[in-house]
Amino acid sequence: MFIKYRFFSLFAAAVLAMSLCACGGGSSSSQTGTPKSTVKPPVEADVSVPDESEPSEPPVSTIGEHLNAAYEIMSGDKYTFKCTLTADDLAEPVNIERYKSGNKLYQSQQTSLGKRGFLSDGNKVYEFDYLTYSYTDEGAVLPDVIESVVKENLPQTGSHIKAKEGEVVEEYTYMGDTFITVYDFYFDEKNGSLKRYTSTYSVEGNDDYVETRTVSELSSSVGDEGIFSPSFTSTLTDFSAFSSGDRQTYCSDLCQKFGITEQQLVSNGMTNESFKKINYDDFLGLIYRYSTKNGGKAK
C-alpha cells in the first residue's frame, strides 16, 4: 500500500505515500486500501492589501519546545527519519523511511507487497513502485507531518493526550469546516527525543480514525547519498513514456496478471478503454486495491 497522505492532512499533495501515504473521506481511486491522509487543503491566499502605515507583527509561534526541536532537525540541510505506521484497517505495519540532503528528498514505504515511494533529485520528482516495477518522472513531493504542523503554526490543545510514564506530550489540532485532525506527539521525558505520534481524524457521523507512527530514528545525517540517484529507473518501466495505446496494453496485461476482472473495473467506474488515459496514481491504486485482496501475487 502506498500512503498518499490521503485526506485529511496538513498540506495539499496530489492527494498523494509515501503515505508514507500515506494515507477515509475525500479519497480517489488511487487511495483505496490505504490509510487516511495527514494533510489539509491549501489555505486560501490572503489577497488583501496590507496597511503600510502600521508595521505587521509576525505571528506568535504556538509550537512547543519538543516539537520545535524535532523540526529543527528536519529543516536542516540533512536528516534521516524512520518510522513504522500502524492503523486498525492496515493488514500489516508500513515501514516508512525519509531522507533529505540539500534540495534532494527521498521517501519510501514498504510492506510485504513491496516498496513504493518518490525521489526528488533537484530536477525531477520520480514516483516508483516495485510491485509493478514501474515509475513516472511526473511525481509529486509529499509533505512531512512534523514540518506541516510547524509551518501551519497549529494551536496546541489537550483534548485526548495519553502520555505514558516517562513521556511528555504536545498536542496540536487543525479545525476544518467539516472535520477535525488532532496530532499527539510523544517525547522521551529525559532526552526529549520523539518516540511516536498519532493522527486522529474526526468527521461528524463517522468513527474517529487513528494512525500511529512509531519513530525508530530522527537524526541530522544521511548514510548513503547514493539513495538520491535516479539510476534505479533503468530497471523499471517508464509509465510516463507510454503512448495511449501502449498504456492500455500495459495496464490490461498487469490487471490480468493480478486477477483484476472486468466487473471490478466497472465497479470502479472504469473500462479497458480507461487505461488509455489513466494516470499513474489511479492505476497503482487499482493494482494495490485488488492485489491486497489476493495477497499481492500475480497469476
CB-CB contact of 131 with 141 (8 Å): no
Q: Check residue 22 and give its pLDDT.
A: 37
Q: Residue 260: is its pLDDT beyond 70?
A: yes
Mean pLDDT of the residues in the chain: 82
Q: How many percent of the chain have pLDDT more than 70?
A: 79
**What is the mean pLDDT of the segment spanning 59-84?**
96
Q: Is the dihedral of CA 144, 157, 169, 85 positive or negative?
A: negative
**What is the mean pLDDT of the segment spanning 19-27?**
33
Q: How many percent of the chain have pLDDT more than 90?
A: 63
Q: Check residue 292 and give its pLDDT.
A: 59
Q: Check residue 293 and give its pLDDT.
A: 60
Give the separation between CA 232 and CA 227, rounded to whole angstroms. Answer: 9
Q: Check residue 297 and give its pLDDT.
A: 53
Residues 115-159: tens digit of each pLDDT: 999 999 999 999 999 999 999 999 999 889 999 999 999 999 988
Q: Comparing 48-57, 69-78, 189-198, 255-264, which segment has the lowest mean pLDDT?
A: 48-57
**What is the mean pLDDT of the segment spanning 94-99?**
97
**pTM, whole model, 2 decimals?**
0.79
Q: Check residue 49 and give its pLDDT.
A: 53
Q: Check residue 45 and give its pLDDT.
A: 36
Report which of residues 55 and 234 the model is more confident about.
234
Q: Residue 246: is its pLDDT beyond 90?
A: yes
Q: Comparing 52-61, 64-73, 138-147, 290-299, which segment has the lowest mean pLDDT?
A: 290-299
Q: Check residue 67 and give its pLDDT.
A: 98
Q: Check residue 282 and give its pLDDT.
A: 93
Q: Check residue 142 and give its pLDDT.
A: 87
Give the separation between CA 217 and CA 87, rounded to whole angstroms. Answer: 20
CA distances from 175 to 8, 23, 45, 105, 253 (A): 11, 19, 18, 29, 44
Q: Residue 228: is its pLDDT beyond 80?
A: yes
Q: Residue 163: is its pLDDT beyond 50?
A: yes
DSSP string, 1-62: --B---SSBSS--TT--BT------S--GGGTTS----BPPPPPP--PPP-TTSPPPPPPP-
| Residue partners of 225: CB distance under 8 A and separation at least 6 | 101
Q: Check residue 32 and give its pLDDT.
A: 34
Q: Check residue 55 and give its pLDDT.
A: 65
Give the separation between CA 85 and CA 209, rounded to whole angstroms. Answer: 13
